[in-house]
Amino acid sequence: MGTPPSLGYSGGLCDPTDSYDYVIITTSAGGLNDWLTSGSLLYNWTSLMNKHALEDGLNCNLILVEDIFSCSDYWNETALFNDTAAKIREFCKDAYQDWVTSYILISGDDDGDRFEDEIEKQIGSNSTKKSDVIAVNIDGITHYLIDQDADGKSDIFYNTISDDRKPLKAEKSNTYLIDINGDGKWDYTYDGTLANCESSFDIPWSYLMVTIVLVIIIVLFILFKLGIIYVYEKEYEN
């Protein structure tokens, strides 16, 4: 009798000495592999995996699609077949064979707005509509202008990593003012591209002019009282 053929997957990310019943495939783009839960974001991947572990007894794991893409064991020798779907299919084969995985949740962004569809469902935007979320990059962190009530206008400025929701003001059609630090002053304008908002540094000229005039009057009054200056007519009378 010869050695029985190995049923494991050759290479790949899954170690056959591990075993996971439930695997989530997601992306690290925009911090969408992890986010803070809150009153309106009731779960994230960690809490979902904990729930399945507790309630269903499933051993869970999370895999980044970026790791799947960079694993050359999943690449097809024929470039034509070496696409995203093919690499994910290869990973699934690997997981079934080496981890004996029963469930794979392929999380993603089906509407292509760069905003995780699972978060869209929780935050109120439409996970099948691309135009309701606009992704912008500020200092390397992806933020989103989100239309929560489907009226075609963005309502909040959102950071998935900190779960910060900042005010937006629609200045005119498709132009927004954004207060990113919540100090009551607009920091950015967005009209298709993001720009620093100079109006937040506006000098209150009218207030400044009134103050300057008042200071000049007070100084003149003091100098007059001290006799340092006097009116010409008074000296002439003497």
By CB under 5 A, name the binding residues for Ca ion: 109, 111, 113, 115, 117, 125, 129, 132-133, 147, 149, 151, 153, 155, 179, 181, 183, 185, 187
Smallest gap from Cβ 78 to Ca ion, in A, equals 31
Beta carbon nearer to Ca ion, 93 or 153: 153
β 156-159/141-146 pair status: antiparallel
Q: Outline where DSSP puts E strands in 86-230.
A: 103-106, 133-138, 141-146, 156-159, 164-172, 175-178, 188-190, 194-196
Smallest gap from Cβ 100 to Ca ion, in A, equals 31
Beta carbon nearer to Ca ion, 94 or 111: 111
Compute the distance between CA of residue 115 and CA of residue 126 in angstroms, rounded to an integer. 10
Smallest gap from Cβ 52 to Ca ion, in A, equals 23
Beta carbon nearer to Ca ion, 183 or 237: 183
Beta carbon nearer to Ca ion, 98 or 117: 117
Smallest gap from Cβ 108 to Ca ion, in A, equals 8
Compute the distance between CA of residue 7 and CA of residue 93 in angstroms, rounded to an integer. 11
116 CB burial (10 A radius; 0-12, 13-18, 19+): buried
Compute the distance between CA of residue 171 and CA of residue 195 in angstroms, rounded to an integer. 14
Beta carbon nearer to Ca ion, 25 or 133: 133
Smallest gap from Cβ 211 to Ca ion, in A, equals 25
Compute the distance between CA of residue 132 and CA of residue 64 in angstroms, rounded to an integer. 25
Smallest gap from Cβ 41 to Ca ion, in A, equals 15
Beta carbon nearer to Ca ion, 6 or 181: 181
Beta carbon nearer to Ca ion, 50 or 175: 175
**What token pair was written down for 133?**
């979320």
Smallest gap from Cβ 28 to Ca ion, in A, equals 15
The answer to whether 110 and 86 are in contact (CB under 8 A) is no
Compute the distance between CA of residue 178 and CA of residue 159 in angstroms, rounded to an integer. 13
Compute the distance between CA of residue 54 and CA of residue 9 in angstroms, rounded to an integer. 29
The answer to whether 119 and 35 are in contact (CB under 8 A) is yes
